[in-house]
Amino acid sequence: MINGPKYKIARRLGAPVFEKTQTQKFVLRESNRKLAKSTKKPKAKSDFGNRLNEKQKARMVYGVGERQFSNYVAKAIATKGSSSDILLRALESRLDNTVTRLALATTRAFGRQMVSHGHILVNGTRVTIPSFSVSIGDKITIREGSKKKPLFAKLDERLATNSVPVWIKADHAKKEWEIVGSPKLTQADVLFDIASVFEFYSR
């Protein structure tokens, strides 16, 4: 979980790593701030500083602590295949991220809270661990006793405008979602440089 002033963190990292900073208001504010400081020559970062920055971006985007994130990276490096694909797949397969992709939650932080409070079922079983990794064949549903709670009051509106990832089959009428593939992202899909993340941990 990431605590702290999100606007300041996003500004320091130079990327809208939180949902609340992915707004036109934030972009306009940052544009005006940079314009006001344009007369000052920015201090160049070292290679280490740039790699650290990219690693922090990745952590903040997915709301993962340092120890857990470093474990994801270590496992990706140790597993046969593309380390970048493996890392992104592990992060995207987290249950808190998945419920956010499905628009059950509006932010990953909200997704973590939703899972932690037991509102989400995987294959009919309540899962309260946000880092739980979903797999092909898993079915995600909302706990029956949670469906009428205020947090799902506008769910139909969100589902109507949400684009479900291709690796998930959605049945919005039944409020049921099945994992039918593996998450696939490219560098263009993420806010951080994946290569720099691995370079940071291989130093």
Q: What CATH number is given for 94-179 in this structure? A: 3.10.290.10
- pLDDT for the residue numbered 45: 77
pLDDT tens by residue, 85-105: 999 999 999 999 999 999 999
Q: Bigger pLDDT: 58 or 185? A: 58
The pLDDT assigned to 10 comes to: 63
Q: Is the pLDDT of residue 129 over 90?
A: yes
Query: Where do the domains of the chain lie?
Result: 1-44, 94-179
Give mean pLDDT, residues 156-176: 95
pLDDT of residue 139: 98
pLDDT, position 186? 81
Whether the pLDDT of residue 79 is over 90: the answer is yes
**pLDDT at res. 17:** 58
pLDDT value at 7 more than 70: no
Q: pLDDT at position 23, please?
A: 55
Average pLDDT score over the chain: 87
- Taking the model in full, what pTM does it have? 0.80
Residue 34: pLDDT over 60 = no
Look at the block and give the residue holding tokens 């972009």.
Answer: 27
Average pLDDT over residues 174-180: 97
